[in-house]
Structure 1
Amino acid sequence: MTSTPAPPTAPEVLRYAAFATDPAGGNPAGVVLDAGALGEQRMLEIAAAVGYSETAFLAPGPTAGAYTVRYFSPLMEVPFCGHATVAAAVAVAERGGPGRYVFTTAAGEVPVETERDAAGALRATLTSVEPHTEPAGAADVAEALALLGWAAGDLDPALPPRFAYAGARHLVLAAATRARLADLAYDFDGLAAWMTARGLITLQLVWREDAATFHVRDPFPVGGVVEDPATGAAAAALGAYLRELGAVTAPATLTLHQGADLGRPGVLLVGLHEGDGRVRVSGTAVAIPG
């Protein structure tokens, strides 16, 4: 009699809220710490079952503190995800102690420093790959605004639309008022198709409160998520955008508030250094109770 092989054991999925100290805030991320034996389809299935905007899958590298990391939304693999990087680094630091880790991602090598802050919370600071920006053409901007239900007059003329990249590609659109940013209702399928055709991961919608404080929102329909509650990759892209535009001068630390409109407030710190074009994104993460 032939026995039926047992199904593979499901890997443990850890759950963290990134860019927050309260599990009810920030952006939830799944983390699988030993995913070396998992294939792409299995990772996608796990990410879909978890249902968060991203799940990070780590495979230990050849040296201590080195990991290969892949990121999956419920619908697709993404090249880089900041909030899942912060969540994964904190998960690793909780088990092995704070220190420096190196994540090899599809976008490139991302160093991550972890430490305990003054309140005792674990904080992770990632350093992006080399960023860049490019102008957004008038036709692209008009189409994006139409899909969002925004008018050209809703934009801040001091912060013109641009595509920005720091591991993943985003379109930065700056709202002229906080009220415009707060009122977000868009054509999900239409925007998803438009973004897919242009290789975009999110739209980085921002409102500038003052020179160093921004409120942000990130539609993520290409990943099957209406809105990402806290977006580290887009935060890094925004830092690059602001520096290239001359809106900020390094050294500078920017504070981004995200998720309040979803009832999941989070805080992202964006660091710009002199002599280094890469962008630092920092935040805490906390385990979500099972």
Structure 2
Amino acid sequence: MRIEELVIEGFKSYPVRTQITGWDPSFNAITGLNGSGKSNILDAICFVLGITNMAQMRAQNQQDLIYKRGQAGVTKASVTIVFDNSDREKSPVGLENYKQITVTRQIALPSISKYLLNGHKSTQQTVQNLFQSVQLNINNPNFLIMQGRITKVLNMRPQEILGMVEEAAGTRMFEERKDKAKKTMDKKDKRVQELSSILAEEISPKLEKFRAEKRQFLEWQKERAELERIGRTLRAWEWADARRKLETVGEDIRAKEAEKETANKQRKKLSKDCKAAEKMWEESTRNVKRNGRRAES
């Protein structure tokens, strides 16, 4: 990746859209009179690359990056870099099929900031990961060497030089990610230990209690089902027994009714015989009296 085009609008001393093209693949230099805005071009590049140290862009806050701090009617600053991405072997991961990569950073009053990657809204972390994947770390302390730092770099200790080489080679970012991942893992392990402690001291006893209550409840359900089954069986037996008794009583009633009918018939017969006997007795009595009168006369 290399810069093909730089577009500045509303950034520092560039109130109107300024387009800079014709970048050389190997070496570029910015020349001009004092106050002509040479340093602002470098600041604009660092701004897009996502630098977080405002002091390196000679600003105290983001408002200082807007033309005249937004007091001249310009309330937004935008910088766009168009990168040549024709070398597929050095392309960022996931963007190998793009001939060009466009990265835009915009800020606006009061405190609006956003990134655009190939015209689509993106996050700062995504843009930083893109640059780090091609060994470009804007927040490397030695990424931008200002005047007066050459001697300091030359007098660095071996460990500091090694760190600078690692930053330039792009390996330091993996160490930083490794350290960050370790810290995250330590936090997660600590949280897992806390959760394990809570699980062992609070949740597990309650869970065991609930399991015991569940077993008791299931046993109670089983006993209740058995009791209901026995109750249904008992009611069925009582119903069948009552029906049998009802049938027996019905038969007894019919037998008694038959006996009653027979008794009634016998009673009627006896009553008839009694009346016939009474009638015969009365006739016999009359005959006796009649014969007695005849004998007297």
Q: What range describes the TM-score normalised by the shorter chain of this pair?
A: under 0.3
TM-score (norm 1): 0.25
Q: Which has the higher contact order (CA 8 A, sep 6+)?
A: 1
Specify the structure having the higher radius of gyration (Cα): 2
Going by fraction, where is strand more abundant, 1 or 2? Answer: 1
